[in-house]
């Protein structure tokens, strides 16, 4: 891929050539000797992680590779975790909060942004509370349970004049930026068919896992994994779906899957005539993206998990470096905030709301057995 084509596509995404230079992926791609890259010496964005589960640990480790972000604080309901994290990451006592005293974070000038990494059902509440405290917010996917909830979160952040981002790490990952370019710029002509699925055989999941509780998860693998598939279909085409059909899969473990689906398959129809078919599942392993266009194809496998990704097109294999996806995402967001710019829409709360509109329609289609038209 020519650098001019890449730069042009980044600009169209709303990142701009200057922003591209901050990402580890494009630094590696466009500089022969990345070790000599001048490190950023200015103010960093001070971030507090809200919720200290598995993914928070991944994020915490990613601060080592971040140029623009600093892990400054934590919010947890588990005192033992607070002690452990304070020691591991040198977090001062005054930057440690629990869920009861969280709102007092408004008085702490040493925290600029709250990264909400809680179960899905808590995203809305803590995003709005962080906004009212005057802190910028990154919230993990899915943004909330409904499109209406997402809009309330957006409104709260707008009212508080803080920025709201969603943790769309793949928007900063070079293999995915390539499939965005292929699809949106019609490099192989109009994309006609997309197949993208993500599933894991998680037979060891226990009945008390929060992912199985609808009040906390909002749903099963569609909410947890399918959001990546909805995203990939939308950003590859650069279009919004106009209708949805969907089917729930069989429940193979009825003693576990009492509240949420175990698997689900859906079909999205787009204005261009493209069709995207996806499955998200907790009883089978799949991690694949494939797009067929008028004059060629492109694919990734692994595709939408944490990678490392492997891709190819009609023109040959991809050769992108493996990057720290979380660090690239946080740096991309932090750079915009530190320089006083509004976040580009494609990683903002607006994007999260669009995903949830589609996910709500998928559930409605699966429950009714009917096609759902999206306005």
Read off the CATH number of the domain in which 361 is found: 3.30.360.10
120 and 189 housed in the same domain? no
Strand order in the sheet with 263-269: 316-317, 311-313, 296-300, 283-293, 191-201, 275-281, 263-269, 243-248, 372-373
Let me know if residue 252 belongs to a domain.
yes
Per this entry, what is the length of the chain?
375
Yes or no: say if 357 and 375 are a contact pair by the CB < 8 Å rule: no
265 and 235 housed in the same domain? yes
Is residue 51 very low, low, confident or very high in pLDDT (cuts 50, 70, 90)?
Answer: very high
- The 3-class secondary structure across 114-135, one letter per residue, is EEECCCHHHHHHHHHHHHHCCC
| Averaged pLDDT, 240-255 | 97
pLDDT at residue 60 above 70?
yes
308 and 164 housed in the same domain? no
108 and 133 housed in the same domain? yes
121 and 191 housed in the same domain? no
What's the half-sphere exposure (Cβ side, CA atoms, 13 Å) at 56? 23
Q: Which domain holds residue 243?
A: 174-321+348-373
Rounded Cα distance between 58 and 51, Å, is: 12
The string over 344-367, giving b where at least 16 C-beta atoms fall within 10 Å of a residue's C-beta and e elsewhere, is bebbbbbbbbbbbbbbbbbbebbe
Rounded Cα distance between 308 and 66, Å, is: 19
Percent of the chain predicted with pLDDT > 90: 87
Lowest mean pLDDT among 6-10, 196-200, 247-251, 270-274: 6-10
What are the tens digits of pLDDT across the range 311-327?
Answer: 999 999 999 999 999 99
* DSSP-derived pairing of the beta strands 69-75 and 96-97: parallel
87 and 105 housed in the same domain? yes
Examine the fold and report which residue of 169, 200, 231 is the final residue of a domain before the chain moves on: 169
110 and 67 housed in the same domain? yes
Rounded Cα distance between 236 and 157, Å, is: 28
Examine the fold and report which residue of 108, 142, 169 is the final residue of a domain before the chain moves on: 169
What are the tens digits of pLDDT across the range 170-216?
Answer: 999 999 999 999 999 999 999 999 999 999 998 888 889 999 999 99
Rounded Cα distance between 358 and 22, Å, is: 32
What is the reported pTM?
0.90
pLDDT attached to residue 11: 44
Question: Residue 110 forms beta bridges with which residues?
Answer: none
pLDDT attached to residue 5: 54
Rounded Cα distance between 320 and 85, Å, is: 34
82 and 199 housed in the same domain? no
pLDDT attached to residue 375: 82
Let me know if residue 106 belongs to a domain.
yes
pLDDT attached to residue 280: 98
pLDDT at residue 27 above 70?
no
Percent of the chain predicted with pLDDT > 70: 90
- Reading the block at residue 256, the tokens are 């576990």
pLDDT attached to residue 181: 98
Yes or no: say if 137 and 131 are a contact pair by the CB < 8 Å rule: yes
Rounded Cα distance between 264 and 256, Å, is: 16
Q: What is the CATH number of the domain that holds 59?
A: 3.40.50.720
> Which residues lie below 8 Å from residue 220, measured CB to CB, with a gap of 6+?
211, 212, 257, 260, 261, 262, 263, 264, 280, 282
**Residue 290 burial (CB < 10 Å; 0-12/13-18/19+)?**
middle
Number of structural domains (the chain) is 2
Let me know if residue 5 belongs to a domain.
no
159 and 195 housed in the same domain? no
pLDDT at residue 300 above 80?
yes
Let me know if residue 274 belongs to a domain.
yes
pLDDT at residue 55 above 50?
yes
What are the tens digits of pLDDT across the range 86-132?
Answer: 999 999 999 999 999 999 999 999 999 999 999 999 999 999 999 99
Let me know if residue 331 belongs to a domain.
no
Yes or no: say if 279 and 291 are a contact pair by the CB < 8 Å rule: no
Concatenated DSSP letters for 248-298? Answer: EPP-S-TTT-SSS-SEEEEEEE-TTS-EEEEEEESEEEEEEEEEEETTEEE
pLDDT attached to residue 59: 98
């Amino acid at each position: 891929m020519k650098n001019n084509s890449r730069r042009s596509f980044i600009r169209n995404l709303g990142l701009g050539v200057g922003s591209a230079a901050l990402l580890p992926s494009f630094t590696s791609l466009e500089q022969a000797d990345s070790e000599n890259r001048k490190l950023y010496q200015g103010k960093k964005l001070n971030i507090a992680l809200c919720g200290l589960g598995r993914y928070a640990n991944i994020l915490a480790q990613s601060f080592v590779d971040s140029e623009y972000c600093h892990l400054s604080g934590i919010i947890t309901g588990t005192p033992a975790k607070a002690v452990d994290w304070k020691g591991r990451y040198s977090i001062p006592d005054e930057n440690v909060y629990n869920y009861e005293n969280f709102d007092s974070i408004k008085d702490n000038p040493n925290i600029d942004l709250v990264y909400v990494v809680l179960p899905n059902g808590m995203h809305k509440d803590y995003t709005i509370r962080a906004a009212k405290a005057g802190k910028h917010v990154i919230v993990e996917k899915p943004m909330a349970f409904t499109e209406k909830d997402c809009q309330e979160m957006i409104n709260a952040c707008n009212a508080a004049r803080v920025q709201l981002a969603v943790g769309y790490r793949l928007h900063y990952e070079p293999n995915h930026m390539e499939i965005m370019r292929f699809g949106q710029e019609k490099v192989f002509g109009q994309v006609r068919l997309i197949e993208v699925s993500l599933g894991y055989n998680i037979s060891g999941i226990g009945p008390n896992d929060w992912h199985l509780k609808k009040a906390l998860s909002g749903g099963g693998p569609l909410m947890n994994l399918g959001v990546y598939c909805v995203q990939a279909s939308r950003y590859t085409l650069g279009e919004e779906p106009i209708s949805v059909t969907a089917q729930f899969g069989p429940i193979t473990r009825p003693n576990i899957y009492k509240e949420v689906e175990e698997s689900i398959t859906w079909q999205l129809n787009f204005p261009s005539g493209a069709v995207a078919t996806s499955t998200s599942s907790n009883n089978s392993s799949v991690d694949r993206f494939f797009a067929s266009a008028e004059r060629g194809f492109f694919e990734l496998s692994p595709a939408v998990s944490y990678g490392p990704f492997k891709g190819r097109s009609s023109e040959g294999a991809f050769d992108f470096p493996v990057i720290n996806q979380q660090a690239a995402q946080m740096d991309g967001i932090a750079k915009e905030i530190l320089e006083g710019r509004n976040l580009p829409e494609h990683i903002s709360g607006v994007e999260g709301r669009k995903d949830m509109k589609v996910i709500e329609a998928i559930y409605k289609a699966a429950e009714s057995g009917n096609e759902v038209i999206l306005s």
